[in-house]
Amino acid sequence: MLRFIERHTFWAIIIVLATAILLLLIFSVWPEWLISVIGRKKTFVITLLNGVTLAGLYFLVASGFTLVFGLMRNVNLAHGSMYLLGAYIGYEVSERSGSWFLGLATAFFAIALSGVLLQILVFRRMEKEELRQTLVTIGISIIAADLMLAIWTGTTYQFTPPDWLWGSSVLPIISVIKASGKVIYLKYPIYRLTVLAVAVLVGIALWLFLNRTKIGMMIRAGVNDRDMLSASGVNIQLVFAIVFAIGAGLAGFAGVIGGTALSIAPGEDVRYLLASLIVVIVGGLGSVTGVAIGSLLIGLAEQFGLAYFPTYGVVLTFLIMVVVLAIRPQGIMGER
């Protein structure tokens, strides 16, 4: 953080000012002129929270993608299929066992195992052949989509989370002050707040894993110089299999989290694959911090676009990507 402030003082000041203005908008009582310009405060704050929690979900999906694509330079376009398959597996287990947490754990480990198999059977045979990897994983994703459609049909499924995750929480944010003087505080779904908290914890854990553990250092060293790491006696293929397991497992984990927050339906695999690609491109290849920033930008753009510019909402997401690629092709936190 201190290095960033020293190297980018101007941007650090801009970020601090923007954060201060945003906090003022959230916690202050809006005057009439501000309401006439932006709209109701409740709409603005709910849209902001929806964008941040959606960013948390995008981060969970894209963090697994950046481990495989960003760090290892393996193009896995079946990542979206892993998300949807994890959601379906988690749904079946949770419905049959009555335990949402068991479904979550099963989805993580089942998809982690599929990631290991994919790394051994496909990517290990196609190292540094990006075009072949792309074509093969597109084929796998198409086959997987058809198989999932045949098994689970086109029905939309919805998870039932634990009772303590139901309902809404009253936030210390004033929504409106009535003429009688009564203060109405904003309510927001507990589950969405939990999604955000889980995403933050996963992000911290991933950053510590990659930057503060021996295995994380091996992963980064193996990406930069595989031959040297192999010569030092490290089983490079085992290290990469672990990376694939974690990346794929996070996709399955996110499938249950996202399926509970929204729903499970055919087509969600393409949606989250596209979102992961945009997030990684915007944030920078191989950077957990970059994925967090990219997820936040894309999540907020989607939700504010839907709320305030419904006709052009989708355009905002791609506009951000185009601007970032034009100004900083390696991504916000990517290395040259």
What are the residue boundaries of the structural domains of the chain, listed by start? 48-162+189-326
Residue 174: which pLDDT band, with cuts at 50, 70 and 90?
Answer: confident
Structure tokens at 24: 């003022």
Give the mean pLDDT of 69-93.
89
Question: How confident is the model over 300-332, as pLDDT tens digits?
Answer: 999 999 888 887 777 888 899 999 999 888 888
Query: Cβ(176)–Cβ(30) under 8 Å?
Result: no
Residue 333: which pLDDT band, with cuts at 50, 70 and 90?
Answer: confident
User: Running DSSP on this structure, what letter comes out for residue 69?
Assistant: I
Give the mean pLDDT of 214-220.
76
pLDDT of residue 7: 67
Dist. CA 110–CA 114, nearest whole Å:
6
Give the mean pLDDT of 100-121.
94
On the question of pLDDT at 265 being above 60, the answer is yes
pLDDT of residue 177: 81
- Sign of the CA dihedral 256, 261, 267, 273? negative
Give the mean pLDDT of 137-151.
94
Which residues partner with 177 through β-bridges?
A: 183
Give the mean pLDDT of 70-95.
90
pLDDT of residue 8: 64
Whether the predicted model's global pTM rises above the 0.75 cut: yes
Dist. CA 178–CA 198, nearest whole Å:
35
Which residues partner with 189 through β-bridges?
A: 168
| 85 vs 240, more confident | 85
pLDDT of residue 192: 93
Dist. CA 45–CA 173, nearest whole Å:
9
pLDDT of residue 182: 83
Give the mean pLDDT of 162-175.
88
On the question of pLDDT at 72 being above 80, the answer is no
- Which residue bears the tokens 């999906």? 61
Query: Cβ(92)–Cβ(263) under 8 Å?
Result: no
Query: Cβ(174)–Cβ(185) under 8 Å?
Result: yes
- Which residue bears the tokens 């980064």? 220
On the question of pLDDT at 181 being above 90, the answer is no
pLDDT of residue 82: 95
- Which residue bears the tokens 């999604």? 195
Per-chain mean pLDDT for the chain: 87
Query: Cβ(33)–Cβ(249) under 8 Å?
Result: no
On the question of pLDDT at 1 being above 60, the answer is no
Residue 144: which pLDDT band, with cuts at 50, 70 and 90?
Answer: very high
pLDDT of residue 35: 87
Instruction: Provide the CB-side half-sphere exposure for 156 (13 A, CA).
Output: 5
> Which stretches of the chain are DSSP H helices?
2-7, 9-27, 32-38, 41-65, 79-97, 100-121, 130-152, 190-212, 214-224, 226-231, 236-261, 268-283, 288-308, 313-327
Of 30-44, 68-82, 133-147, 192-206, give the lowest mean pLDDT range. 68-82
- Sign of the CA dihedral 261, 267, 269, 275? negative
Residues 6 or more apart whose CB falls under 8 angstroms from that of 123 comprise 74, 76, 133, 244
On the question of pLDDT at 164 being above 60, the answer is yes
On the question of pLDDT at 183 being above 90, the answer is no
SS3 1: coil
Of 5-19, 139-153, 172-186, give the lowest mean pLDDT range. 5-19
Question: How confident is the model over 34-65, as pLDDT tens digits?
Answer: 888 888 899 999 999 999 999 999 999 998 88
| 183 vs 1, more confident | 183
Residue 160: which pLDDT band, with cuts at 50, 70 and 90?
Answer: confident
- Angstrom distances, CA of residue 210 to CA of 47, 119, 198, 252: 33, 19, 18, 20
